[in-house]
Structure 1
């Protein structure tokens, strides 16, 4: 019993050490790097990493290197320094919901991802979905394209084909991102899901950098013909929100 307990504890210690090494690293770590760092047999390292992937504590990026897993992202969303931004943006999101009657999302970047940190549900039964825990590829969403266009994220090395309409040619995507900067908003139609339209705009912080993206999504039947109209509405609301952030008039107790 003592030996078994000791062995189990040792396995946990080794797994925790691998997680800590990955989380503390400045960049994704490859298997050889983790093997060398941990000083374990290759088979042991491989077995532990596989278990950590299964439990979503670690995952591999497009290059096969190890990064923090989905559980870390979920924790960051729920216990987040962006809580104040979410609070400030709440009234603006409600106004956009009233304007459009569609689902409204606020997103920020986490590593090489865009995560949705707040949502106002559509008033329609069709189109309501909780996106706050969804892992959405940045190149296939309007919110992600905003972050790419304004330099909050780098262009992914691999552009996954989610639907026949997903843009996977880097040159074409760069042209789209240039148009986002010109027009002030990004849009997607049938790129993330068939039948889904999204529109999003940037939100600026006190230093003039993009700190978030504000977006609306809904069925093509209601949004596809209204992309420019919704883009202008979003841009106006986002400018008001950005103005609050820049002026510092968003402190608790302020009108």
Structure 2
């Protein structure tokens, strides 16, 4: 196996800083990358000059830099995803009882699944940004399971094996890799994922894939509701078709953008 390039090392540091506790020391970075401290410092200095990381002058610890906010906003603007997706998420949310459902779009970046656009179920407002921790667990999250099911399964298995022991987020969370891979197979076969308190107790949801112009599942539309609002059966009966159609409409619009 080829050793990681400097860019791959820098990307892995950014990934780690996007997860709790969101900070690393020079020693921790060097150990994480199996590098010497001078080598790690040289890389971090270059990342700091670009605004990708920030070094606190008092604690000497590194956090994510403000340039990443600019890059994230640029991605949304150039991809036109916000204008394409948000009206459909709002419309889908408004079909739920009292408009209290939570609709959102998660995206696959090649290594992780994270929330990109959301219409909150607790407030009638729009929220944007990354999911807490920088990534939704591939074995637990509603949209993460859906998107992992559509990726190369050998790669996904290696990612899961590297994360062992997998955290049992709720008593419904699968942590056996063979069972998870079989679950992915069933999700692909039916074309959607029906969640049942695998990540949050008291919540059920449906996620459906959004495909890019090359036919790759790069995003997922989801509708999540408290079980006090809708039972799992009622959610499927009343909203499965709506979630699937929303995903199809967004897929078609993305294809037309070309």
Give the TM bin, normalised by the shorter chain. Answer: 0.5 to 0.7
Deviates more, 1:224-233 or 1:237-246: 224-233
Query: Aligned ranges for residues 168-187 of structure 1 at < 5 Å?
Result: 168-187=175-194
In 2: Cα distance, 1:189 partner to 1:35 partner: 46
Q: Which runs of 5+ in 2 are unaligned?
A: 1-5, 17-28, 42-55
Relative to the length of structure 2, the TM-score reads 0.66
1:194 paired residue among 201, 212, 230? 201
Could you give the per-residue CA deviations for residues 194-233 of structure 1, whole angstroms, max 9, x where no partner exists? Answer: 1121211100111111121110112122332234232322
Query: Aligned ranges for residues 184-223 of structure 1 at < 5 Å?
Result: 184-223=191-230
1:38 aligns with 2:33: no
In 2: Cα distance, 1:148 partner to 1:73 partner: 25
Could you give the per-residue CA deviations for residues 9-52 of structure 1, whole angstroms, max 9, x where no partner exists? Answer: xxxxxxxxxx9883257999872632277188xxxxxxxxxx89
Check whether the contact 1:180–1:186 (CA below 8 A) recurs between aligned residues: yes
In 2: Cα distance, 1:161 partner to 1:53 partner: 34
* Structure 1 residue 247: Cα displacement: 2.4
Check whether the contact 1:143–1:200 (CA below 8 A) recurs between aligned residues: yes
Check whether the contact 1:73–1:110 (CA below 8 A) recurs between aligned residues: no
Relative to the length of structure 1, the TM-score reads 0.66
Check whether the contact 2:194–2:207 (CA below 8 A) recurs between aligned residues: yes
Give the aligned length. 208
Matching residue of 1:80? 75
In 2: Cα distance, 1:151 partner to 1:131 partner: 25
RMSD across aligned positions (CA): 3.7
In 1: Cα distance, 2:93 partner to 2:174 partner: 28
Greater Cα radius of gyration, structure 1 or 2:
1
Matching residue of 1:22? 9
* Structure 1 residue 111: Cα displacement: 5.0
